[in-house]
Amino acid sequence: MSRALKVSHILLLLAALAVSARAQDVPAAGARPLPASAFELDGFAGQVVLVDFWASWCAPCRLSLPWLNAMQQKYGERGLQVVMVNLDHKPGAAAKMAAEIAPGIRQFEDPEGVLAAQYELEGMPSSYLYDREGKLIASHIGFLKTEREPREDELAAALNRKEP
Amino acid sequence: MRVKQTVGAGAIVILLGMTGSGLTGCANLGVKPWERDLLAEPGMEIDPDVIITALDEHIYFSKEASTGGLGTAGGGCGCN
């Protein structure tokens, strides 16, 4: 291998490292889940935010994953931000599951249940819908297939709501 | 007399303390919804094998001409 080729490889490697370091600064969908301490609702100002608490051992939570991903794909451009907070004690398998089923959604990990305790969850899954001003406009406990349509209507209405 | 009063006041304080701890002692018991991972495991189900239970129920019904009372489906996660 010539010296010039080696140098170019090193430069490429450095460039890739710089890009990955920058990506960690701004948490993106599909990236590695962030700790619960990094969760701030204010960070999504101006967007309709659906915060969903889930766990891999919870059957209705698993049922909701494809729907949540579909909603993010469908309404993301209009300002919807789905945020999933995983509550598994050992979040490794859950992170893999979320990356496979809901790759377009921002993920947070809360193995100690700190955020869950703050929200005083009463069941699994629990979701909270905030409007563009950060005001809580709806909350749901559990997930049924029959709820998909009314829940989507609720999201669409929140997105259509004019700012005061 | 003073000794009697001191003992009486002490007894009241102890009684109030015991009553207070009795009232609040169970307030923090229970599993939070996000802590039910172990309860959701298949091994925690009341009915560990649906097919065997169905066979048992069938035999029981055939012998006794009555059915039911053999448990319910689902684990303990409270989310099924």
**C-alpha distance from residue B47 to each of B40, B69, B70 (Å):** 13, 12, 8
**Residue A90: which H helix or E strand, with range?**
none
- The chain-wide mean pLDDT, for chain A, equals 85
Mutate to test the interface with A, among B34, B36, B79 (most CBs of A within 10 A): B34
Q: What is the CATH number of the domain that holds A138?
A: 3.40.30.10
Q: What is the mean pLDDT of residues B34-44?
A: 87
> Looking at the 3D structure of chain A, how many domains does it have?
2
Q: Do residue A67 and residue A11 come from a single domain? A: no
Q: Which of A53, A60, A113 sits opposite B35 (nearest CB)?
A: A113
Residues of the domain holding A48: 32-160
CB-based contact A31:A83 (threshold 8 Å) = no
Per the structure, the count of domains in chain B is 2
CA neighbor of B77 nearest in space, from B44, B50, B28: B44
Sheet with A136-141: strands ordered across: A34-35, A106-109, A80-86, A48-54, A126-130, A136-141
Cβ contact (<8 Å) for B35 and A126? no
pLDDT class of A17 with cuts at 50, 70, 90: very low
Q: Centre a 10 Å sphere on the Cβ of residue B44 and count the other Cβ atoms it contains.
A: 14
| Residues A99 and A113 both lie in one domain | yes
pLDDT digits (tens, 9 = 90+) for B1-35: 566 676 677 778 788 877 766 666 666 668 899 99
Kindly provide the ipTM of the predicted complex, given to two decimals: 0.70
- Sorting pLDDT into bands at 50, 70 and 90, what band is A62? very high
Local confidence band at A52 (pLDDT 50, 70, 90 cut-offs) = very high
Mean pLDDT of A52-81: 95
CA distance A67 to A163: 27
The answer to whether residues A52 and A83 touch, using CB atoms and an 8 Å cutoff, is: yes
> Which residues form the domain of B40?
31-80
* pLDDT tens-place string over residues A120-135: 999 999 999 999 999 9
Q: What are A54's strand-pairing partners?
A: A86
Residue B8 and residue B41 in one domain: no
Determine, for residues A58 and B32 on separate chains, whether the beta-carbon distance falls below 8 Å. no
Residue A83 has pLDDT above 70, yes or no: yes
Q: Which residues of B touch A142 (CB under 8 A)?
A: 79
